[in-house]
Amino acid sequence: MDGRQLNRLGRRLIALARQASTSPGDRIPSSGEAAVLGEVVESPGCSIRQLCERTGFVQSHVSAIVAELVERGLLRTETDPADRRRTLVHPGTPLTRGVDRRLSPIDDTLATALGDADKAGEAAALIDRLAALLLTDQAATPSPVVSSAKGS
């Protein structure tokens, strides 16, 4: 496996995840919206600043995304009672329902994509193993890339 193949695999897994977690007529969130939504689901009640730190987006971008998602009913905000300058972000009811739908197994999606229930079972087991290896706290924070070029 090389970097190009890994990139292709990542894109294919993202496409399968979207198939498994959306229904016909669902609006697919942009990558920025998906990043913010994912963080709010993982840490309900987080602040805009925390969302910036976790997504790597600038404050103006996060605020614009949150405002749009609040307007669509996917998020709700409140003023932090401990610090009235901070805005806390929570999942809205439609988002919570969508998250519940995403927790269902991906077996049917894999069977449809592969056309074979046995291959789908094998793929699901491999994905589970890969997730066990890579989705840890240590793996979530990539190590800095060190250049092999020598400085002068």
**Each residue's pLDDT tens digit, 94-112:** 777 766 666 678 888 899 9
- For the cut 60, the answer to whether the pLDDT of residue 146 exceeds it is no
Tokens representing 72 are 């669509």
Close Cβ partners of 124 (under 8 Å, ≥ 6 residues apart): 105, 106, 107, 110
Q: pTM surpassing 0.85?
A: no
Q: For strand 46-47 and strand 75-79, is the pairing parallel, antiparallel, or unpaired?
A: unpaired
- For the cut 50, the answer to whether the pLDDT of residue 6 exceeds it is yes
Stretch 116-129: mean pLDDT: 93
Instruction: Report the alpha-carbon distance of residue 79 to residue 77 in Å, rounded.
Output: 7
Query: What is residue 5's predicted lDDT score, i.e. its pLDDT?
Result: 93
- Nearest CA-CA partner of 125 in 99, 106, 103: 106
Of 25 and 33, more confident = 33
- Nearest CA-CA partner of 49 in 33, 66, 32: 66
Query: What is residue 17's predicted lDDT score, i.e. its pLDDT?
Result: 84
Stretch 72-98: mean pLDDT: 89
Instruction: Report the alpha-carbon distance of residue 46 to residue 44 in Å, rounded.
Output: 6
Q: How confident is the model at residue 145 (pLDDT cuts 50, 70, 90)?
A: very low
